[in-house]
Amino acid sequence: MMMTQLLIIDRHPVVRAGIRYFLGQQSNITVIGEAESYSAAWDMYRQTRPDVAIMDLCLADHEGFEFARRVCHEDRDAGILGFAAQRNPILKVRASNAGIKGLVYKTDEPNQLLRAIETLAKGDSFFDEDLEVGKDSLFWGIHLLTPREFEVFRFLAEGHTVIEIAGILKSSPKTVGVHQTRIIKKLGVENSAQLAHIALGGGVIELKPIAASPGKSEASAAYYMPHARTGS
């Protein structure tokens, strides 16, 4: 029986421990390492070259999709299995475009994780076939965005200005403005409210309660603003 070597990348110690314990019951899988950040995972991946790396797509210090692109650029046969909080077709498209070979979800049964690992270890992909983005879908335009355009789209949907985004991405306002123009054209929208609507519907951002100002009751603070998803 061929042994599958696995790397676990997740920011939550209890999640890593749970996965490690469950997979430790399997005779054909061995966990050869774990990391809580992408920077640590990058070094560990290069050292261990696992057959499969199961990766939280929402680690704190970097975008999971950028990490996947970096790994796949160096190792074209990398078996990266994304670990996500929710099902949505946009996530599937972005994962596939980044070179991720499969997706499992935190609501899945444990045996689904086993099937995914075994599938990737054989060199095949593992995606939910029901999650497709049709050309008539509201979210089709997101499929057309480049990785950098997606970043700008997310920040715009959160309510950041072009100048703020330029600072965050260490770019120029002119360059961000060009990205903004292309995003608006690809998504077929006219204003930031429509951008936020698409981002919310696609699970790119979520609503966050605003803290009450001093002297105000909690009830008066029951307003919500979008912010980027950070996992669960």
CATH number at residue 221: 1.10.10.10
Which pLDDT value is given to residue 220? 46
What is the radius of gyration, based on Cα positions, of the chain? 19
Which pLDDT value is given to residue 45? 92
Which pLDDT value is given to residue 198? 79
Do 148 and 178 belong together in one domain? yes
**Residues in CB range of 180: below 8 A, 6 or more apart:** 152, 156, 162
Do 48 and 100 belong together in one domain? yes
Confirm if 193 and 218 have CB atoms less than 8 A apart: no
Do 161 and 216 belong together in one domain? yes
Task: Supply the range of the domain harboring residue 212.
Answer: 140-228
CA pseudo-torsion sign 180, 185, 188, 190 = positive
Which pLDDT value is given to residue 76? 85
Do 32 and 113 belong together in one domain? yes
Please tell me whether residue 201 adopts helix, strand or coil conformation: helix
Do 108 and 164 belong together in one domain? no
Do 43 and 148 belong together in one domain? no
Do 167 and 222 belong together in one domain? yes
How many structural domains compose the chain?
2
Average pLDDT, the chain: 81
* pLDDT 10s digits, 78-97: 999 998 877 777 777 778 87
* pLDDT 10s digits, 135-163: 445 566 777 788 788 889 888 988 899 99
**Rounded alpha-carbon distances, angstroms, from residue 36 to 18, 20, 21, 104, 117:** 14, 14, 17, 18, 20
Do 10 and 114 belong together in one domain? yes
**Residues in CB range of 150: below 8 A, 6 or more apart:** 94, 142
Which pLDDT value is given to residue 11? 86
- CA separation for the pair 186, 218 (Å, rounded): 40
Asked if the structure places residue 38 within a domain, the reply is yes
Which pLDDT value is given to residue 149? 87
Phi, psi torsion values for 27, nearest 5 degrees: -75, -15
**Residues in CB range of 141: below 8 A, 6 or more apart:** 186, 187, 188, 198
Confirm if 86 and 105 have CB atoms less than 8 A apart: yes
Ranges in the chain, pLDDT < 50 = 61, 134-136, 219-225, 230-232
- CA separation for the pair 120, 101 (Å, rounded): 7
**What's at 30, amino acid-wise?**
T
Q: What is the pTM of this model?
A: 0.66
Of 121, 150, 185, which residue constitutes the final position of a domain? 121
Do 85 and 168 belong together in one domain? no
Do 94 and 197 belong together in one domain? no
Asked if the structure places residue 131 within a domain, the reply is no
Q: Per residue, what are the HEC states of 137-180?
A: CCCHHHHCCCHHHHHHHHHHHHCCCHHHHHHHHCCCHHHHHHHH
